[in-house]
Amino acid sequence: MRSPTEKITLIEILSIAIAGFFGLLAMVQGYLTLMLLTFYLVCVSLICDALIYWQKGHTAHTGKQVLRAAVIFIFTTYILIRL
């Protein structure tokens, strides 16, 4: 029987892997847009982690992850708007 959080875990792992690839590419090539995309993908990963912990009933950890994702999202959006 499959875990109910398997799809969310897969999205979390894929978003971190793609973020790592885009982050390295952004550092080597110097593209700011790829770096911003990397931060947005990290936000997706944090939200997926929060969803997993929410389904397990760990509300404190869920809140911390959502707060981290919100801070990264807000600052990344601010940088994007200031360009």
- What pLDDT is recorded for position 83? 82
Amino acid 5: pLDDT:
82
Q: What angle do CA 22, 24, 27 make, to 5 degrees?
A: 105
Share of the chain above pLDDT 90, in %: 76
Report pTM: 0.88
Burial 25-48 (b: 16+ CB within 10 A, else e): ebeeeeeeebbbbbbbbbbbbbbb
